[in-house]
Structure 1
């Protein structure tokens, strides 16, 4: 969900870690060669990261992606039975699922004793939230804004070949998973949004403007219709979100807000289940098509796992990126760091047994070598970035979310 300061610096530099002739070769599952040079998208993403404008990307600069290889679509559809047995059970039945109201002051009919409890619980919530420092509030708002862009993420998944819900109410397992996942994710933004409103600590209109802009701006993914790339990307995003909310929960405890800790904890638990689902599905595809999947993984890594909130804007546009400022605060607060990103890469390389893959093509072997050597390089870059940051003076940035107060970003 959120890539932060040093993590942003590190991932931006990962493009220089590519190997020669990476996109050479051919084959039916030629995943790594878009119809136009990939630097076109990289350039657009870089431009988006340095601009807070809400204007949509000029359609004249759009890239035409090649058709998804038939073998990919067949591979993902072949997992429908597996999805029914292994992914759908990870969704919580509605009857036993938590709802946002469970973690907020209880509403009731006027004049009842429960209504009195609402007032008391609201006062307790606001008193605890009053102790939260501004950097934690910025991280919480940035995470919530990203969660609220769920319609974009569902739209992106529905574009994925072999996975999308073609009818809107399809009974196919992949479609049922997508709708169930969306329903569970929808509670996250609702809960965080209501909590922030009730605290009275943030400028909710500016927060709402930011959500509006992000939904209008959308998001960009490399190879957006490829099921291989989409599942790998989702695995990383769910794990990043789990880590981010988990760290925020610990910060909430540190500052005495146990309500916020419970809220972030329950959201993190959902993200952990969703990560497990996408990670296991990806593992199945590694068994079905190891060459195609390792090349897709390398391509996602070369694309720097572009974060879904990258195009967020509060509409004020100072010529810098709101997402970059939010990311820098989150890095500094320890909500999600470059170290977390390196750990994630190492985790998935180990989980998907990338180093043990055999029978690969020349491109597949180069992709395998690149991915397996990536985590140590990320950590070296992180160390260099830390040293450079330590030599500089603290940098402050203002956030409209917290009534234009300034927070240290570097």
Structure 2
């Protein structure tokens, strides 16, 4: 039987891994500046300074691109809540604190550059955007909500969740850039997606080390996170509607979640190949196997429904033409 490690013990044992991960990140991450990705020559004053306020016809973005850009931006906006969660479950001391602050500073650039782009290009209504930002940040985000029905969350669960969340965000940013029909927006969001991937690598390696340190505890953590995973933006205004639109148009759907986010990490962590878990860990991963099998069936059902919906919409548009 494996001894149950406390959060303090886990953090102490993993601090050298955090320091190595931080040093690697600082070595490979490239400095970039938000102002370099914004077409400032398209900007002009709004009515308060003698210009013209926003009108829908000013936007060059499709309705789907607007939804995706706003959803991605509002997700980035709740950074104070994310920072608080990371600081509470890791630490603000030593390598942990250095990482948390570095990660926070880098994530902050994402919100800066996307908002500047949208305001300067008049891509979305800036008044509506600001009202949604205020509402979303007032509501905040509680990372413990992912785990509170299971047991007290800790660094293993937070690392597992952050790995999946950072990778999911990378996929969403990358695919949003592709449908904006603007090379500037695509370049900007690809730059943001690259950051998210580097962040994912840090958390993924951290969890890998945690798996070796406490196999049964890590198995419980990762299974719980995969089975209960939800994006941190779910509390924002119009979240359900916008998520459906993004899934419908292939920006972030169930197949992408399974094949581009969940399964790569299942394979990386060798969840079904590990031999260091006890009967407790073995039982837990059997439950995960059942869940993944059901998730694959959900993917097929979703795609069948989506295909029928798109076919109906295409037929309706053809009749109206």
> What TM-score do the two structures reach when normalised by structure 1?
0.66
Q: Distance in 1 between matches of 2:71 and 2:154?
A: 28
Name the SS of the counterpart of 2:230 in structure 1. coil
Q: Distance in 2 between matches of 1:385 and 1:283?
A: 32
Q: Distance in 2 between matches of 1:89 and 1:75?
A: 21
Q: Does 1:155 align with 2:84?
A: yes
Q: Distance in 2 between matches of 1:340 and 1:290?
A: 28
Match runs of 1:241-320 below 5 Å: 241-252=169-180, 255=181, 257-303=182-228, 305-313=229-237
Name the SS of the counterpart of 1:356 in structure 2. coil
Match runs of 1:127-166 below 5 Å: 130-160=59-89, 163-165=90-92
Name the SS of the counterpart of 2:218 in structure 1. helix
Query: Is contact 1:354–1:372 with CA below 8 Å preserved after alignment?
Result: no
> What TM-score do the two structures reach when normalised by structure 2?
0.84
The Cα offsets for residues 40-96 of structure 1, whole Å up to 9 and x where unpaired, read as xxxxxxxxxxxxxxxxxxxxxxxxxxxxx62x33122212122212233303699x6
Query: Is contact 2:60–2:123 with CA below 8 Å preserved after alignment?
Result: no
Query: Is contact 1:246–1:264 with CA below 8 Å preserved after alignment?
Result: yes
The Cα offsets for residues 12-49 of structure 1, whole Å up to 9 and x where unpaired, read as xxxxxxxxxxxxxx9864xxxxxxxxxxxxxxxxxxxx
> Which consecutive segments of 4 or more residues in structure 1 shift more than 6 A?
393-396
In the alignment, which residue of structure 2 is the partner of 1:334? 250
Which residue of 15, 19, 31 maps to 1:97? 31
Q: Distance in 1 between matches of 2:215 and 2:2?
A: 14
Query: Is contact 1:76–1:285 with CA below 8 Å preserved after alignment?
Result: no
Name the CA shift for 1:393/1:250 in 2 (closer, same or farther; >3 Å).
closer
Structure number with greater CO (CA < 8 Å, separation at least 6) is 1
State the shift of 1:391 in Å. 4.6
State the shift of 1:296 in Å. 0.8
Q: Does 1:199 align with 2:121?
A: yes
Query: Is contact 1:159–1:225 with CA below 8 Å preserved after alignment?
Result: no
Structure with more of its chain in helix, by fraction: 2
The count of aligned residue pairs is 293
In the alignment, which residue of structure 2 is the partner of 1:233? 161
Name the CA shift for 1:361/1:145 in 2 (closer, same or farther; >3 Å).
same
